[in-house]
Amino acid sequence: MKKLLPGVIAMAIVVVVSNILVQYPIGQWLTWGAFTYPFAFLVSELVNRFHGAPAARRVVFAGFLVGLICSLIGTQIMGEFGPLVTLRVAIASGVAFLVAQLLDVSVFDRLRRSAWWRAPFIGSFMGSTVDTLLFFSIAFSATLVWIEPSNDISWAIESVPLLGFGPEVPLWVSLGLADYCVKIAVDLIALMPFRAMVAKYATRMA
């Protein structure tokens, strides 16, 4: 377990920081949390590369538990429009994180012997896609209102032009698309530190 401690700490930091920064918007479509959350994929992928898929899954479960604690705390903090974290958002966040991260671990493990960039990029790309679809649909889709009938999501299902200039869609679709674009951009950027840290690790082990 000692060898996984750096990964567990790094994952916990990403999860906690992202849960805090998601409360701070950037413009109309994004929050600061959109820029930090994708680094969770980098953490699990580095653990996967250095210690294998089972170790990466343990780090993911540690991050999931930290996320649950953050959500629990958020439900007790009242903001301008109610609790900072609603039941739907808590469920959406937990389900999306766990499914997306475990998918990333599995995809990475299958591709670990291919070109150095393929496993981290394809794994994080697929994970980011599933994470976005699950989180925004569970948290804000009108079809899932039964999860928390008392939660007013009228603001999220209001029809607006996609990202301000496209066809009319529910607001949450624009929020999800903007978030997804940032995730993919960060996934690409994260290939550089991934490559550097793997090379440094290989040098130390030589």
Overall domain count for the chain: 1
CATH number of the structural domain spanning residue 165? 1.10.1760.20
Residue 122: count other Cβ atoms within 10 Å of its Cβ. 17
| Stretch 146-160: mean pLDDT | 91
Question: Does pLDDT of 72 surpass 60?
Answer: yes
- pLDDT digits over 165-187, tens only? 889 999 999 999 999 999 999 99
Distance of CA 100 to the CA centre of its chain: 8
Range of the domain at 144: 2-205
Contact 187, 121 (CB under 8 A): yes
Q: Strand, helix or coil at 155? A: coil
